[in-house]
A and B are shown apart, each in its own frame.
Chain A
Amino acid sequence: MSAAATSSDTQGLSELIQSRSVIVCLGPGGVGKTTTAAAIAIAGAKLGLRVAVLTVDPARRLAEAMGLTPAKSPSNLEMKTEPHSDGGRGLGKAAGLDNEPRLIDGPWDGELWGVMLDVRATFDGLISEYAESDKQRDAILNNRLYQNLTTTLTGTNEYMAAERLRALHADDRFDLVILDTPPAHHAIDLLDSPGRLSRFVDHRVYRTVLSPKPGVFRAVTSAANMVVRAIGQVVGNTLLADAIAFFNDFQGMDQGFRDRAAEIDDILHSDETAYVLISSPRYQPLQASRWITGQLAERGRSVAAVVFNRMTPVFWPVDDGARWEGSADPLEQNLAELIRLRRAEEELVESALGDLFPDNKTAQKGRLRQILIEEKSTPVNDLGALADLSKSFL
């Protein structure tokens, strides 16, 4: 336990970091999720672990600090030159450097690796891995519906993040994988996404369309056919033809995808995986946090630790703030305002914790880790500042 502890509830995350192999960071947008994930990863490296942190959409300065540059999407052309499938590890290779872990040097005993998610490359890699022939692979990679799928099907980003997480988890270069997720309501898709593509391609509508029996498409008796035609009416027949071609091409690959989805699901539901909620002491992010926690609970998962970023620093004991109130002196006025803000934040956090974790009252206090991080007067955007921040988690 470190001197950074600011309240009796704060126990750091050392135990969590050392006992789990996956930490998923969840939270609403704009609360410093990526920064926090990176700082937790550094804490892990300081504890001697070999840690990979997978980030989804880091701000440029932070990406630079971690030795990651923004990913460029490799074209399908590049893909074709790569042999597919060597047990998942080929993914990064096929995807080019940006999807590959990079070692980040720093003053720690363990290792810190940064990985930036390249959604398209990861998905292309999966297709390459499961395609039964080059022809099948190319047909899918060039299909317009497939290309749309990677950018628009709800949960595709999350699915690919989960897939990348699986590959890193299976990689014996790493003891711990930390996942920084996209904001709030997409983060929950992470849990649902692996099954989503399977459900998508399993839909009975396509079964009908893809039925090998000739003439089925013309049969008006099937409700599914009505739906297919309805889709055609809404989106036009060109797009419908693309869709039909996609599902045709996809045949034979679905079992592979289903198996992979099950594997990812196992990791996300395993006790090796911890969920850390990251939030800030403001009404809207706390509302979003309530929602996230509820969704996790519905899926049988719970939050192991909560990090509240951007707390106004404590300059004076909050319960003794009244003595500065009402002063005309600018210094006292300033202090009074900051104390008032801090008190309001603590109240909001307290009430949110009560709602978020009703079981966590007094008796079990201490089971849930809570970490309050004070707002810095300068931004955390280099490795030194991240290393400094990591002390809060040790």
Chain B
Amino acid sequence: MNAADFLNAADFFAASRVLIVAGKGGVGKTTVGATLGIAAASVGLRTQLIELDGHSSLGSPFGLTELPYEEVEIQPATHSLSGRLSGRRITPDNALVEYLRDHGLKRIGGRLVKTGAIDVVSTAAPGIHDLLALGKIRALEQSGESDLIIVDAPAAGHALTFLRSPAGLADAVGDGPIHEQAEQVLEMLGDDRRCQVMLVTLPEETPVSEAIETAYSLEDDVGLKLAPLVVNGILSPIDGLGSALSALRGRTKEAKALRAAARYRQARREGQVEERDRLSGELPLNQIGLTQLPTAHLDEADIHVLAAQFNQQISQLVVDDDADIGTKS
């Protein structure tokens, strides 16, 4: 065993240029995407957030609605945010049209979209939209304009389909421009110095089970490297709540309310701890916990709080020379 080192957040974020955030619907994937963006920018990386088709709204904590196809600045570099944070939205149709244009097929691209024949293309070659979105991400990676590209992947089941698309297409298409594109994307996905996947889950039964399944599929079928896993929505402990509850006497309205509220928090926390234990028992990945902030709508300040939590925990992970960052040593 070599001497252990503490990781720092800047090293973690610089470990690969593409970080794909994946998880089941409703686990707060988008919140985590935005959090990672701030976390990385705050340690000096020029960071770009990418949302794909669907209802991702990475910009919403920053007061932005849907991001445009062209990169926009989300937060400029400041003294507290030494890198800058930008974002864009990649839609499959945009990516396909851009791809065809870049391959001398501009007129055809327009026609495919206009006639609706694009449905035939994507049915004949499933995953072509996903591949082209990934191809665009790869192009951004290669351009070096950003130090880190954070991708808000489609929800769980779809994330697998999304990330499997290049392998499927490389097989199906034989040769030609799409085959070449698929090979290039596969190369990126399979190289942990270029690309990692961060799974997000909640400390609840169904999301945990799904995270475990997705993790194994991603590693085994797709050959992706997993970063530490984010457990979102953790109820923070309140110091002394347990002993205060046991000491609580009385049957007044107040006492009853205090007792019920304390029991509720404790029961939910117990359930959460159980699920986190199950998760770490079944999945040898480090966990980063983000707390459930007492608000129903996270704003920019909340995202900064979560980003600080993330960076603080990343810097507590111990890595030795042989172990991966994601995997527990």
Which residues of A approach B to under 8 Å, CB–CB? Answer: 28-31, 57, 59-62, 145, 148-149, 151-154, 183-185, 199-200, 203-205, 223-224, 226-227, 230-231, 233-236, 238-240, 242-243, 280-285, 287-288, 291, 313, 315-316, 329-335, 337-338, 340-341, 344-345, 347-348, 375, 377-379, 381
Contacts and interface: CB of A to CB of B under 8 A. Distances in A.
B4 interface: no
A146 to B, nearest CB: 9
B120 A335 contact: no
Complex A-B, nearest 7 residue pairs according to Cβ-Cβ distance, in ascending order: A30-B26, A29-B25, A377-B267, A152-B126, A230-B108, A283-B297, A344-B296
Contacts of B179: 236
Contact of A283 (B175, B245, B265, B298): B298
B72 interface: no
Interface stretch (B8-16, B141-149, B221-229, B254-262): B254-262
A28 B117 contact: no
B248 interface: yes
A59 B210 CA distance: 9
B204 interface: yes
Contact of A152 (B54, B123, B264): B123
B173 A235 contact: yes
B115 A377 contact: no
A29 B122 CA distance: 25
Interface in B258-291: 258-265, 267-268, 271
A217 B128 CA distance: 25
Contact of A235 (B24, B178, B238): B178
A200 B117 CA distance: 9
A234 B176 CA distance: 8
A390 B251 CA distance: 31
Given A28-B26, A227-B112, A284-B28, 10 more contacts: A234-B177, A235-B173, A242-B124, A315-B257, A316-B261, A329-B244, A330-B239, A331-B258, A341-B296, A344-B294
Contacts of A334: 238, 241, 258, 261-262, 265
B174 A238 contact: yes
Interface of A is mostly: helix
B78 interface: no
A71 B210 CA distance: 17
A239 B175 CA distance: 12
A184 B259 CA distance: 38
Contacts of B117: 203, 205, 227, 230-231
Given A28-B26, A234-B178, A335-B261, A348 B124 contact: no
Contacts of B257: 315-316, 335
B193 interface: no
A315 B238 CA distance: 17
Contacts of B267: 377-378
Nearest to B123: A153
B184 interface: no
Nearest to B126: A152
B80 interface: no
Contacts of A62: 206
Point out which of A149, A224, A233, A291 has the most chain B C-beta atoms below 10 A from its C-beta: A233
B209 A185 contact: no
A333 B268 contact: no
Contacts of A340: 294
Point out which of B25, B111, B115 has the most chain A C-beta atoms below 10 A from its C-beta: B25
A153 B119 contact: yes
B324 interface: no
21 contacts: A29-B25, A59-B209, A152-B123, A153-B119, A203-B116, A223-B115, A224-B115, A227-B115, A234-B177, A236-B179, A239-B124, A240-B124, A283-B298, A287-B57, A316-B261, A329-B244, A331-B248, A334-B241, A335-B261, A335-B262, A344-B294
B124 A183 contact: no
A57 B209 CA distance: 14
B60 A283 contact: yes
Contacts of B155: 29, 183
B262 A331 contact: yes
A60 B209 contact: yes
A282 B116 contact: no
A223 B111 contact: yes
Interface in B162-179: 172-179
B105 interface: yes
Contacts of B240: 330
Contact of B124 (A184, A243, A281, A284): A243
Nearest to A281: B296
A148 B116 CA distance: 18
A29 B26 contact: yes
B209 to A, nearest CB: 7
Contacts of B112: 227, 230-231, 234
Contact of A282 (B115, B172, B263, B297): B297
Given A233-B108, A236-B174, A377-B271, A203 B120 contact: yes
B264 to A, nearest CB: 5
A282 B296 contact: yes
A36 B79 CA distance: 48
Contact of B105 (A145, A234, A235, A337): A234
Contacts of A378: 267, 271
A30 B209 CA distance: 13
A145 B123 contact: yes
B262 A30 contact: no
A199 B245 CA distance: 64
B107 to A, nearest CB: 8
